[in-house]
Amino acid sequence: MALAPAQASDFSAPWKNADRALVIDAYEYNPIDWAELATDKRIVGFINKASDGMPPAYFCFGDETATRLCKALWKRHAVAQELFQTRKVVAKALGLKWGAYHLARPGNPVGQANNFINFAKPGPDDLLALDIEDDDPTKWMSLEDAEEFVRHVHRRIGRFPVLYTNGKTAKHIADNKYKYRLLSRLPLWYARYKPDIGVHFPMGNWQGYALWQFSAKANCGRFRCPYRVAGTPNDIDVNVAPMDAAALRAQWPFGGLIDAQPDYLASIPLPLSRAAGLAGNVTLTYATVAPPPSFTEMVAMFSAGWSKFRGSLQMPAVGTALRLPRRIADYLGWLPKEKPSASAVEAVPTDPVSTASTEFDRSPR
């Protein structure tokens, strides 16, 4: 999947461009007036929160307080799922593209992926997103678990989710793209509430964003807001796409991986002969750079090298049935009986290029 590189204007308040499509994302406590929302023709899609971590415990145990809390969680879970499916029907009836996101929590990435899919019940044209709020594994899903989450979603439905995260986490993933081989190639749903993001965006890995969440409760209040959507409260999240409505509908739901970016070292041209350079009309070819070896590959390489080195230090076998004095005698008998004579040293041909020492270099000069 190739996302077109964003233009420079798409990193500086692109929502002011009337040609750019907008997307709403909400959770269960955001009230929506659908009739009012439909009046804004720039709104192309609606992404609703689906699951949050793991589902509540199936059975309720404990004292009266614990049981009441367990039942309350189940009630909230059931109401949220019912609201999710109702909003899905209404949004699609209004011609909006639909999406769902999972709020990632620490632990059990496979269980969370199953909870997400079972909750959202995604259709083939429904966008899926993994929401990682920050790079803090004590509060949110670790990036290693996020890799497994993404992998399991692909196992079950055959496509990948979009990655929602902030600039700090996105930069960390981009700087470690050989470690996070899946996360670094997911279409990026970028969260930053500033009008300009050009100097903060991780261009070394992503050439552009799929969506940019530019307006939220953090920067939208009663008197000032980057963009107000009719029929929604001030704390609603608004996102802009670096494309128009038709292009966004065509790329929705972003179910593939973005093209891997060539390593910067691969910009080194291969040597060219002087004659070919003087002749002109030369097509330059560039070196290909393999990714650095993984930790597992390096461990295997060092293990093989150590085994070879250790084997070179072992004494020749002298027979296990011999007593110790006999073994020593056999070993002494195995050593060279005499040193080479001076004439033999002179007869040995020398290599003027080689700088390696030999057994004959030990003789006096």
Domain residue spans in the chain? Answer: 10-267
Q: What is the mean pLDDT of residues 265-282?
A: 68
Q: Which residue, among 127, 105, 101, 115, has the nearest Cα to 48 in the 3D structure?
A: 101
The counts of H helices and E strands in the chain are: 10, 8
Rounded CA-CA distance 85/94 in Å is 15
Dihedral angle of Cα 261, 267, 272, 276, to the nearest 10 degrees: 80
Prediction pTM value: 0.73
% of the chain surpassing 70 pLDDT: 75
Q: In whole angstroms, give the CA distance from residue 141 to residue 62.
A: 28
Closest CA to 25 of 52, 45, 53: 45
- Of the ranges 8-12, 92-96, 225-229, 284-288, which one carries the lowest mean pLDDT score? 284-288
Asked if residue 174 lies in contact with residue 183, where contact means CB atoms within 8 angstroms, the answer is no
Segment 205-226, tens digit of pLDDT: 999 999 999 999 999 999 999 9
Is 85 within 8 Å of 79 (Cβ atoms)? Answer: no
Q: Locate tokens 């059975």: which residue?
A: 59
The answer to whether 94 touches 34, Cβ cutoff 8 Å, is: yes
Classify the C-alpha dihedral 251-151-141-28 as positive or negative: positive
Q: For residue 53, which of 95, 123, 120, 111 has the smallest C-alpha distance?
A: 111
Could you give the CA distance from residue 102 to residue 141 in angstroms, rounded to a whole number? 11
Please name the residue that has the structure tokens 């996105």.
170
Q: Which of 279-283, 316-320, 357-361 has the lowest mean pLDDT?
A: 357-361
pLDDT digits 0-9 by tens, 326-352: 566 665 666 666 555 555 545 444 444
| d(C-alpha 57, C-alpha 120), whole Å | 19
In the CATH hierarchy, which fold is given to the domain comprising 10-267? TIM Barrel (3.20.20)
Q: Are 195 and 12 in contact (CB under 8 A)?
A: yes
Q: Supply 91's token pair.
A: 């949004």
Which of 87, 108, 106, 2 is closest to 45 using CA atoms? 87
